[in-house]
């Protein structure tokens, strides 16, 4: 059998408290009484109420101040407060809601109205606590899942490395005339390399999420770094036209190694969605006190409803707007940029390409 819900009645009129207590107890509530703010705080510290009925006009400390102090205390901040007052001025109602009240009932009142409003706000409070408990349970499950994923992925790295080394040795030992065997083995080696990259991606994401990846931030030329990243060889770029536009020099404050990987990741992502002969532009600039990088492609674009989830771990857009992969690259980019005080996002329309952008703190020349 569940315990009755507790209501704390704070009012300096003893006869009102007595009548209200009798009526509320008839409805099955447990009622606590306090004639003023200090006594209410002592009661709240000993026995946490589920709801507070609070008068405004009381000696010493008025109801507004009592409500403010209840809301300022983390232990009582979530308790719903309903004001009971003879004050009729709109400014009093505004002040009651402004200090954290959830409702305002004017004296004299019908008890049926008070009982109905109490029931509504207690139900809202119950549902809120239920959601908070479910949220905490989900966070715990997610933490367990991530720990299991990290353990499994970490254990995969060593056998994958041994497998790739064995295939490298086998490739060296193949005779020149074994062309078909070599092609199949090279394909298997490329697949193993891809899986190895995914494994490292998961581990790096976990390290970023846990704050365990060290950042070596310094002043560097972002424009030069972007041109180096765009010029580095990559098997996914094919015959796509790739160029960098913007200022010749752009000073930023971040970890250049991490930023290089972010730019490379965004370029390769753009190339995957751009047909051979298409265009990929890396555009540099400034916005306010931040350096800005955009990677623009003329691929299929991304629907508005999909543009936020693509930055989530293991999430991708709809099948017609995704490439092969596990949805780790953009999640890494988001964590890597935000961990250094920057922002990341995308602007896109289906059929009109995409522009992935990020900002970093800029160093003024």
Which DSSP string corresponds to 102-153?
Answer: SEEEESS--HHHHHHHHHHHHHHHHHHHHHHHHHHHHHHHHHHHHHHHHHHH
The CA-to-CA distance between both ends of the chain, in Å, stands at: 70
Render each residue's pLDDT in the chain as its tens digit; 365 residues.
577 899 999 999 999 889 999 999 999 999 999 999 999 999 999 989 999 999 998 888 999 999 999 999 999 999 999 998 887 788 888 999 999 999 998 888 888 989 999 999 999 999 998 999 999 998 888 777 766 666 776 777 788 888 888 888 888 888 888 888 888 888 888 888 878 777 766 767 676 666 666 778 899 999 999 999 888 877 677 788 999 999 999 999 998 988 998 998 899 888 888 888 889 999 999 988 899 999 999 888 888 877 778 887 655 554 444 444 445 678 888 888 988 889 999 998 888 889 999 999 987 65
Query: Which residue has 């265009």 as its token pair?
Result: 279
The gap from C-alpha 98 to its chain's centroid, in whole angstroms, comes to: 28
Beta bridge partners of 291: 286, 360
Please report the sign of the dihedral spanned by the C-alpha atoms of residue 327, residue 328, residue 332, residue 335. Answer: positive
Beta bridge partners of 104: 83
Interatomic CA distance for residues 10 and 32, integer angstroms? 9
Interatomic CA distance for residues 63 and 83, integer angstroms? 8
Q: What is the DSSP letter of 328?
A: -
Nearest CA to 104 out of 70, 75, 138, 67 is that of: 67
Nearest CA to 77 out of 128, 21, 38 is that of: 128
Q: Where do runs of H (alpha helix) occur along the chain?
A: 14-26, 37-46, 63-72, 90-98, 111-173, 179-209, 222-231, 256-272, 329-338
Query: Which residue has 């005779």 as its token pair?
Result: 175
Is residue 110 packed enough to be buried (19+ CB in 10 Å), middle (13-18) or exposed (0-12)?
exposed
Total-model pTM: 0.52
Give the list of residues 6+ apart from residue 244 with CB closer than 8 angstroms, or none: 223, 226, 227, 230, 281, 282, 283, 284
Interatomic CA distance for residues 233 and 224, integer angstroms? 16
* Residue 282, helix vs strand vs coil: strand
């Amino acid at each position: 059998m569940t315990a009755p819900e507790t209501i704390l009645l704070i009012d300096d009129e003893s006869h009102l408290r007595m009548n209200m207590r009798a009526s509320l107890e008839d409805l099955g509530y447990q009622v606590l009484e306090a004639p003023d703010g200090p006594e209410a705080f002592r009661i709240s510290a000993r026995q946490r109420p589920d709801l507070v009925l609070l008068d405004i006009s009381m000696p010493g400390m008025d109801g507004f101040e009592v409500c403010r102090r209840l809301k300022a205390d983390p232990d009582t901040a979530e308790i719903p407060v309903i004001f009971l007052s003879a004050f009729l001025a709109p400014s009093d109602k505004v002040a009651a809601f402004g200090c954290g009240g959830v409702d305002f009932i004017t004296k004299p009142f019908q008890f049926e109205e008070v009982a109905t409003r109490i029931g509504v706000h207690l139900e809202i409070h119950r549902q809120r606590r239920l959601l908070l408990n479910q949220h905490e349970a989900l966070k715990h499950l997610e933490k367990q899942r991530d720990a299991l994923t990290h353990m499994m992925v970490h254990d995969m790295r060593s056998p994958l490395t041994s497998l790739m080394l064995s295939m490298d040795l086998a490739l060296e030992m193949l005779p020149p005339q074994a062309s078909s065997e070599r092609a199949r083995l090279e394909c298997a080696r490329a697949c193993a390399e891809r899986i190895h990259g995914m494994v490292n991606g998961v581990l790096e994401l976990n390290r970023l999420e846990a704050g365990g990846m060290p950042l070596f931030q310094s002043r560097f030329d972002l424009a030069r770094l972007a041109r180096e990243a765009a010029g580095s060889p990559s098997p996914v770029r094919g015959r796509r036209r790739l160029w960098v536009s913007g200022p010749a020099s752009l000073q930023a404050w971040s970890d250049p190694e991490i930023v290089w990987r972010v730019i490379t990741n965004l370029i390769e992502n753009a190339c995957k969605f751009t047909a051979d002969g298409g265009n990929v532009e890396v555009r540099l600039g400034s916005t306010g006190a931040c350096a800005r990088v955009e990677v623009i492609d003329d691929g299929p674009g991304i629907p508005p409803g999909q543009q936020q989830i693509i930055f989530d771990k293991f999430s991708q857009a709809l099948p017609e707007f995704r490439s092969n992969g596990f949805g780790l690259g953009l999640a890494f980019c988001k964590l890597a940029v935000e961990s250094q005080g920057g922002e990341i996002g995308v602007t896109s329309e289906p059929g009109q390409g995409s522009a992935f952008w990020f900002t970093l703190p800029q160093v003024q020349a």
